[in-house]
Amino acid sequence: MIEKIPFGSTGHLSSRILFGAAALGSMSQEKADTILPQLLDAGINHIDTAAGYGDSELRIAPWMAAHRDDFFLASKTGDRTYDTAKASIERSITRLQVDRLDLIQFHNLTDDEGWATAMGANGALKAAVEAREQGLVRFIGVTGHGTRVAEMHLKSLNEFDFDSVLLPYNHMMMQDPVYAEEFEALYQRCHDNQIAMQTIKSVARRRWREDDTSQRYSWYEPIRMEDKLSRAVQWVLSKPGIFLNSSSDTTLLPVIIDAAQTSTNERTDELESQIATDCEDLAAEPLFVRGVSDSV
């Protein structure tokens, strides 16, 4: 089974692999019904979805009737104002057919204008806090992409006691010295204050190349070679206390699960060397480059 550790200070022991439910966004219910049992079999007990993930919430809903107590259920709102965020939270609860969410997160809160609106007097934060007071959500988090995300999460934590953060983490992203420094500062802040740190894009190879005709299940090209994919997962899990959100490409889920189940959770010099070699062999590239490609 996959290791479970405290999800920040929430009191929940979450599996270190969180199911990234963006994978269900354009999937039929019949297909989704073959994916979710894999989570139960592997001991994955945390689902991360979003209002903006197509039909993902609808695909999860039928399972909640029988398995609500088996999962920590997180969703996200991309709205920034009080009214729109309030409506989004209520809609997610309705679509998921549950009484409450365990975690509501502000989706990709990394731009200054959106941040100011969300944190303002009539912003999304007010709606989330109100929902928490009403028992509609238990915890509040913030997520993001791009090279500024760690910096912006630190800014958010200075403004409000968020329960969780989510951001990219892989070898190539950590080659940006500014990103690496800010990531480590955020990591330390989360460790010191018992804030859950979730990572994404951990099995990314690079953005799709125009001449690549491969079938696409995610907006970026993932690592597909099983040995290299396994090492990428194990490299992330070797960072104590963090979580890895699975890829939106569910064909990779069995390999990700197996890698997590066999991981020693130990970052050795050998693993660091192997990851660097893998990235070179794969011609891997960072998904986000400061001032060049900071958006999805």
Q: What is the pLDDT of residues 37-48, one digit of tens each?
A: 999 999 999 999
Give the DSSP letter of residue 246: P
Structural domain includes residue 286: no
pTM as predicted: 0.97
CATH number of the structural domain spanning residue 83: 3.20.20.100
3-state DSSP assignment of residue 56: helix
Q: Identify whether 288 is part of a domain.
A: no
For residue 112, tell me if it sits in a domain.
yes
266 within domain boundaries:
yes
Residue 271 included in any domain:
yes
Asked if the structure places residue 296 within a domain, the reply is no
| 289 belongs to a structural domain | no
Question: Total domain count for the chain?
Answer: 1
Average pLDDT value for residue range 281-285? 97
pLDDT band at 296 (very low <50, low <70, confident <90, very high): confident
Q: Residues 73-92: pLDDT tens digits?
A: 999 999 999 999 999 999 99
Q: For the segment 198-253, what is each residue's pLDDT rounded down to a tens digit?
A: 999 999 999 999 999 988 889 999 999 999 999 999 999 999 999 999 999 999 99
Task: Round the average pLDDT of the chain to a whole number and report it.
Answer: 96
3 state SS for 169-233: CCCCHHHCHHHHHHHHHHHHHHHHHCCEEEEECCCEEEECCCCCCCCCCCCEEECCCHHHHHHHH
Residue 295 lies in a domain: no
Residue 233 belongs to what domain range? 4-205+219-281
Q: Binning pLDDT at 50, 70 and 90, where does residue 293 land?
A: confident
